[in-house]
Amino acid sequence: MLRRYVMKALIRNVYVITMDDQDNRYPDGCIAVEGDTIAYVGDEERLPAGFVPDEILDGCGMLALPGFVNTHTHSAMSLFRGYANDIPLMDWLAQKIWPLEDRLQPQDAYWLSMLSIAEMAMSGVTAFADMYMFMDQTAKAVEHSGIRAVLARGLQGPDARSEQRLAENRRLWEEWHGRAGGRIRVMVGPHAIYTCDGDYLKRCMDLAGQLGVGLHIHLAETRTEVEEALKKHGKTPVEYLESIGFFNLPVLAAHCVHLTQRDMDILKEHDVQVAHCPVSNLKLGSGIAQVSRLLEKGINVGLGTDSAASNNSLSVMREMTFAALLGKGINEDPTVIPAKQALKMATVCGAKAIGWSHEIGSLEPGKKADIILVRCDAPHYHPAADPVTHLVYSGRDADVDTVIVNGKVLMRKRQLTTIDLERVYHEVERIRHRVMGGTGDAR
């Protein structure tokens, strides 16, 4: 029988930040990769002698880190970047975004997702959680680009198309869950409690239960959402979801800005995973999540950008900086959310939030080789100090030099290897013209 040859790569002369439980670091370390998996992390003297690499990547002047995880986005919304600014969420959605989304065609989502994937990869994101329509197109973009993603069909109902949306989520799971070399997973995506009624939320829960996957939802994003839930159900959004048994399934909850102490206790009790999206929450004027309180309670928090329409960037590095600074600012306490905690949220906690910590989030033998190399020789990394501090407080997207997902190099020396950016720009302009008219300024 023929054995398939497994490619071996060695990243050497690199400052390795593992983000594992021991927080191991190797200032002059190396990482051995066999196929899609990390085989060794540590000092090169201890690298098993039998490891003979096919390829060597020189990491001199760079940090090696687990790839960043974007725990909440809508990648095909890249079309709307810069379109509707400086208005609150509910007006932004109802008056600006939803009418234009009605003009999208399925194939648009491939190119729009590809644009977002390119942007994410170029800022060190190796995995993302997405909720949107036309998800099979996003899945194709994930497959072709080589990135990793957890995809959910955004679900709203009841209305004339709500059953079809559920069927699409089921089909997405049938066709894509575990596919693309294991880089795609599927969740069920009820949009929010203000767009899904109780019966429809239960249909979503049933589907997630049948498929054995979790639910991805927007939760407690604005004060309006909470006030309306109190009026309609006599409960906060979190209390309401608990009352219908929603949290008996694994849940990834985006935003969680407006929470009571009791809400936080409920989230903790049910191990709800939180996607903290500080920049989108600031730009839409939604508020600032009480992340330090969530962390004190032992709730797991990852970082999300939300879409390029409300952020307007898909940089998890930027979210990391904002998360660390906002925590200090709103608590009037500089000890809150130290740099290391922010980096954990961007990596290992993000991986946990999207249900993938068994394979990604840290650099350890046996984990998937999702690795980024970040240049740390520019002026803003000098003088030498703790590189994590430099990364969180002065790091820039453009410092990301190399991106590896599942053992495959997606970007080398800032050149994408799987995405033809010029083609993506061309296709996105074509879509913009059709959907938004010549100028793109449809305001």
131 lies in the site for ligand LTUXU72L, by CB under 6 A: yes
**Which lies closer to Zn ion via its Cβ, residue 57 or residue 308?**
308
Residue nearest to ligand LTUXU72L (CB): 154
Convert 369-404 to b/e letters by CB count within 10 Å (16 or more is b): bbbbbbbbeeeebeeeeebbebbbeebbbebbbbbb
In this structure, what DSSP letter does residue 15 have? Answer: E
154 lies in the site for ligand LTUXU72L, by CB under 6 A: yes
| CA 291/CA 100 separation, integer angstroms | 33
Least spacing, CB of residue 294 vs ligand LTUXU72L, in Å = 18
174 labelled binding-site residue: no
39 lies in the site for ligand LTUXU72L, by CB under 6 A: no
221 labelled binding-site residue: yes
Count Cβ atoms within 10 A of the Cβ of residue 84 and give its class: 0-12 exposed, 13-18 middle, 19 or more buried.
middle
191 labelled binding-site residue: yes
CB 276 within 8 A of CB 253: no
Which of Zn ion, ligand LTUXU72L, none does 154 bind, CB closer than 5 to 8 A by kind? ligand LTUXU72L
Least spacing, CB of residue 237 vs ligand LTUXU72L, in Å = 12
Contacting residue, 26, 111, 128, 132, with ligand LTUXU72L by CB under 6 A: 132
228 labelled binding-site residue: no
| CA 121/CA 416 separation, integer angstroms | 8
Least spacing, CB of residue 164 vs Zn ion, in Å = 21
276 labelled binding-site residue: no
In this structure, what DSSP letter does residue 157 have? Answer: B
Least spacing, CB of residue 316 vs Zn ion, in Å = 15
CB 191 within 8 A of CB 217: yes
358 labelled binding-site residue: no
**Which lies closer to Zn ion via its Cβ, residue 95 or residue 261?**
95
70 lies in the site for ligand LTUXU72L, by CB under 6 A: no
Question: 73: which strand partners?
Answer: 130
Which of ligand LTUXU72L, Zn ion, none does 101 bind, CB closer than 5 to 8 A by kind? ligand LTUXU72L
Q: Under DSSP, is residue 85 helix (H, G, I), strand (E, B) or coil?
A: coil
Q: Which stretch binds ligand LTUXU72L (CB under 6 A): 180-188, 304-312, 353-361, 414-422?
A: 304-312
| CA 69/CA 19 separation, integer angstroms | 13
Least spacing, CB of residue 275 vs Zn ion, in Å = 8
Q: Can you state the angle between helices 135-145 and 108-122, rounded to 10 degrees?
A: 40
Contacting residue, 36, 168, 221, 397, with ligand LTUXU72L by CB under 6 A: 221
Q: What is the CA angle 236-356-368, rounded to 5?
A: 160
Size of residue set near ligand LTUXU72L by CB under 6 A: 18
Task: Give the closest residue to 66 by CA, choosing from 19, 33, 103.
Answer: 19
Contacting residue, 140, 218, 276, 408, with ligand LTUXU72L by CB under 6 A: 218
263 lies in the site for Zn ion, by CB under 5 A: no
133 lies in the site for ligand LTUXU72L, by CB under 6 A: yes
| CA 280/CA 286 separation, integer angstroms | 8
| CA 214/CA 21 separation, integer angstroms | 25
Handedness of CA 401, 20, 406, 295 (dihedral sign): negative
Q: Which stretch binds Zn ion (CB under 5 A): 89-97, 301-309, 374-382, 385-393?
A: 301-309
End-to-end CA separation in angstroms for the chain: 63
296 labelled binding-site residue: no
216 lies in the site for ligand LTUXU72L, by CB under 6 A: no
CB 290 within 8 A of CB 259: yes
Q: Which stretch binds ligand LTUXU72L (CB under 6 A): 3-11, 93-101, 268-276, 312-320?
A: 93-101
Contacting residue, 138, 292, 310, 402, with ligand LTUXU72L by CB under 6 A: 310
Lookup result for tokens 């960037």: 313
Count Cβ atoms within 10 A of the Cβ of residue 264 and give its class: 0-12 exposed, 13-18 middle, 19 or more buried.
buried
Which of ligand LTUXU72L, Zn ion, none does 402 bind, CB closer than 5 to 8 A by kind? none
Size of residue set near Zn ion by CB under 5 A: 1
Q: What is the CA angle 92-305-370, rounded to 5?
A: 155
306 lies in the site for Zn ion, by CB under 5 A: yes
Residue 20 backbone dihedrals phi, psi, to 5 degrees: -85, 180
Which of ligand LTUXU72L, Zn ion, none does 191 bind, CB closer than 5 to 8 A by kind? ligand LTUXU72L
Q: Annotated binding residues, as ranges?
A: 72, 74, 101, 153, 161, 191, 218, 221, 306
Instruction: Give the interface with ligand LTUXU72L as residue ranges (CB under 6 A).
Output: 74, 89, 93, 97, 101, 131-133, 154, 156, 191-192, 218, 221, 280, 306-307, 310
Instruction: Give the interface with Zn ion as residue ranges (CB under 5 A).
Output: 306
